[in-house]
Chain A
């Protein structure tokens, strides 16, 4: 069967085409740019919900239940489930589907697992491009799920309009070690597995931390938004309705306060920066790393005939000259 990879194909909602275009976004980026240009201009971006938290906190289960609550209202929802790539092999184990069995065959749900692929300096630009594709395909909400441990994850979360940070009672004092950025990135905190005996104590710790955060950050993005703590038992579906309502309230807050526009312009700015970095890496830096000239320079630095600082200045000059050639 031959597939028509085109803007119409994506908009038609054919899952095979959407899936193949996302693969191109991941693997053959240059080839897919013409299609992305067309899709972006004619598409309003979906509402982005980020969800993060430590491994085993129940993120995927919560996503499953939340998505069900949205599809019950006839919404089309996509999930991008992100797992880290191995630094050694480059491979990845993508296991988020295990806990999403109930939505895996829903007709209005599209789930895609993605590996981080070890992007230097932050976010894999393919994630934003995937959001563009899914939006064009008619998904009104896109959930981005990621394990909340490092800087990379915080960057992913910052893509979202509404970010849920999930924690569990047994996390205890470990919550103190949450990266500062993660505490600030959370628009809604979810205390999952709230049926455990230590849940109320954990709720208190969370509340104190959020208040502390609040008094330290008068000028932060969320200064007029009171970050709620929603208690859930994901496996039982308890608290999902409250969570759904909290997401809706945050969305209302964003559009009322014009913050949605501000959020979006920051996301777009970041994406443009990421695309430029990607271009520079592909066209200038990577080819250079392969070249014998670069090996000579490195040898020169080792022998202290030159130094890293002078070497970089000279390399940048040669980039500029090459750029000049392109323009003429």
Chain B
């Protein structure tokens, strides 16, 4: 698969209203040649998984700043499995305390990008994973 066919869903689960970060990532990935679906604020796990299925994305990027990742991410991962799309590469970003990273990785979230991560690093990570 070539880089320009990579399709990414950038989603904001939960109730926080801060999507500057998500938008910066969406733009950055677009500029790296990816097709990025952005769903907007306050998405339920159902909406996110439905969008991932219908859009047939390769990657989901979850952005969260509300602290509810421990509640919402497992629901999203379960629903992805239920709909037969647990092959999607799931990444997370936002304000997620270091102590929680391992727990999230254990449920299948491949990588968690902390504030200050360069777009280049995320792009490289996605490309590398897609090549495998």
Binding site for B on A (CB under 8 A): 1, 3, 15-16, 18-20, 22-23, 26-27, 85-86, 88-95, 97-99, 101, 104-105, 110-113, 115
Contact = CB atoms under 8 A, between A and B. Distances in A.
A113 B53 contact: no
A91 B33 contact: yes
B84 A93 contact: no
A74 B7 CA distance: 31
The 6 closest A-B pairs by CB, nearest first: A98-B40, A91-B30, A19-B56, A1-B84, A90-B4, A23-B56
Contacts of B51: 97, 104, 111
Contacts of A1: 84
A18 B54 CA distance: 8
Contact of B55 (A99, A101, A112): A112
26 contacts: A16-B53, A16-B85, A18-B54, A19-B54, A19-B55, A20-B56, A26-B5, A27-B5, A86-B31, A89-B31, A89-B33, A90-B33, A91-B29, A91-B34, A92-B30, A93-B36, A93-B38, A94-B35, A94-B36, A95-B38, A98-B39, A101-B40, A104-B51, A110-B54, A113-B37, A113-B55
B103 interface: no
Interface string B16-44: 00000000001101111111111110011
A18 B40 CA distance: 24
A16 B83 contact: yes
Nearest to A23: B56
B129 interface: no
Contacts of A3: 84
Chain A at the B interface: SS class: mixed
A115 B57 CA distance: 13
Nearest to B85: A16
B47 interface: yes
B56 A94 contact: no
B30 A105 contact: no
Given A16-B85, A98-B40, A92 B50 contact: no
A37 B54 CA distance: 23
Contacts of B47: 101, 104-105
Interface in B79-93: 83-85
A139 to B, nearest CB: 12
B100 interface: no
Nearest to B52: A19
Interface of B: 4-5, 7, 26-27, 29-40, 43-44, 46-47, 50-51, 53-56, 83-85
A23 B34 CA distance: 14
Contacts of A110: 54
A94 B85 contact: no
B94 to A, nearest CB: 18
Contacts of A91: 4, 29-36
A89 B33 CA distance: 5
Given A93-B26, A101-B40, A101-B47, A15 B54 contact: yes
B31 to A, nearest CB: 5
Contacts of A19: 53-56
Contacts of B56: 19-20, 22-23
Interface hub of A19, A90, A111 (most chain B Cβ within 10 A) = A90
A37 to B, nearest CB: 22
A111 B36 contact: no
A99 B30 CA distance: 20
Contacts of A95: 37-38, 40
Given A91-B36, A97-B51, A98-B40, A16 B84 contact: yes
Contact of A15 (B36, B38, B53): B53
A98 B47 CA distance: 11
A86 B30 contact: yes
Nearest to A79: B54
Contacts of A86: 30-31
A90 B31 CA distance: 8
B31 A111 contact: no
A94 B38 contact: yes
Nearest to A113: B37
Contacts of A115: 35
